[in-house]
Amino acid sequence: MSRFWNPLIEQLEPYIPGEQLDDSSIIKLNTNENPFPPSPNVIAAIEEEARTKLQLYPSPAVDNLREEIGGCYGLKKEQVFIGNGSDEVLALSFMTFFEPGKAIKYPDITYSFYPVYAKLYQLDVEEVALEDDFTISPPSLFNAEGGVIFPNPNAPTSLYMELEAIEEILKNNPDQIVIVDEAYVDFAKASAASLIDSYPNLLVIQTLSKSRSLAGLRVGMAMGHKDLIDGLTRVKDSFNSYTIDRLAIAGAMEAFRDTAYFEKTRNEIIKTREYFRQELEKRDFHVLPSQANFVLASPAGIEAEKLFMELKQAGFLIRYFNKPKLENYLRISIGTKEQMTKLLHAIDYIIEK
């Protein structure tokens, strides 16, 4: 605490990201990163941009990237907003669309940054309990006073909600914004972006950190009705005009253009996920039916926390949440098949010993 702080600062409970270790001997499966590097075209575009105009400001409106992304989803550039990672897009969205005194709804087990934003903007929150099988009950998110936010697939449950259910949530919040946080959607059935032209209250947020292998580049986006994008832009331009640097713009453009590479690596991860899930089930683990690039699994024959600790000692970093309902579960990112096989061997060794 410092006497120079605004009194609110003391009350914040900042987000704690998964450990980022710069030790390449560790197999890092704790922050849902992509095991594959970005497309070679992304790297070439960054190198080209670095050699040209780094002394000049980037475009504050990022029109070219908004157009490129819009094109992928059948949207106009006026329906796309770009931010410095989807965390920034989420932070700006909380500020733009939610309002103190009107409770927002989100699931009680969800992305742990939501309560942090709520504290930062002094928002009231109604945390909605998941069902016993960890699914979100759509009616639990109906008739929110101040808006709705949830990830699809949800994190850390990995569970996907069908678009029909999302439409029900949208219809039952006609005067409130519904934010669908699709960080992991490229590993799932379908994006809600196809609903944007039908629902002016829908904001879809995505990131390039997972399926596009660009966690290190910090690019995220929101898609929705032009009025929603205009609101986000007003707030962004009152906070920081140039949030996306030239290299990130150049790299992100290519990440959306090289669809072949995107499809190949995404499908590889989905295949490895299914392999890994089956292997865990053979070992009697309870594994939720993931549509993300991670699984949430409850081990058999050993406590989750103990397995987490022993795997860490063995050089495997996964994620354990010491939280109600999750104390028997582990969240494991999907790496390469080779990494997952090594992990399975380590699990076998730990459980058998």
Residue 63: CB minimum distance to a second copy, A: 10
Nearer to a second copy, 24 or 133 (CB): 24
Find residue 151's DSSP bridge partners.
181
Q: Does the protein bind a second copy through residue 41 (CB under 8 A)?
A: no
Amino acid at 125: V
Nearer to a second copy, 153 or 251 (CB): 251
Provide the 10 A C-beta neighbour count for residue 53. 10
Exactly one of 25, 55, 198, 313 binds a second copy (CB under 8 A); which one? Answer: 55
Half-sphere exposure of 331 (CA within 13 A, CB side): 23
Q: Binding marks (x or -) toward a second copy, 234..273, rule CB under 8 A?
A: xxxxxxxxxxxxxxx--x----------------------
Nearer to a second copy, 88 or 182 (CB): 88
Nearer to a second copy, 53 or 286 (CB): 53
- Token readout for 290 is 């993931």
Exactly one of 85, 151, 153, 156 binds a second copy (CB under 8 A); which one? Answer: 85
Rama region for 62: left / alpha / beta (φ>0; ψ in -120 to 50; rest): left
Scanning 97-105, 266-274, 296-304, 322-330 for contacts with a second copy by CB under 8 A, the matching segment is 97-105
Q: Does the protein bind a second copy through residue 42 (CB under 8 A)?
A: yes
Q: Which residues touch 210 (CB under 8 Å, ≥6 apart)? A: 32, 33, 34, 183, 184, 186, 187, 293
Q: What residues from 127 to 186 belong to the interface with a second copy (CB under 8 A)?
A: 147, 175-177
- CB burial readout 86-105, b (16+ within 10 A) else e: bbbbbbbbbbbbbeeeebbb
Residue 4: CB minimum distance to a second copy, A: 5
Scanning 56-64, 67-75, 267-275, 283-291 for contacts with a second copy by CB under 8 A, the matching segment is 56-64
Residue 235: CB minimum distance to a second copy, A: 6
Let me know how long the chain is: 353
Residue 144 DSSP one-character state: -
Q: Does the protein bind a second copy through residue 289 (CB under 8 A)?
A: no
Q: Does the protein bind a second copy through residue 68 (CB under 8 A)?
A: no
319 φ/ψ angles, rounded to the nearest 5 degrees: -120, 130
- Token readout for 124 is 């009231």
Find residue 83's DSSP bridge partners.
220
Q: Does the protein bind a second copy through residue 217 (CB under 8 A)?
A: yes
What angle separates helix 40-50 from helix 246-257, to the nearest 10 degrees? Answer: 150
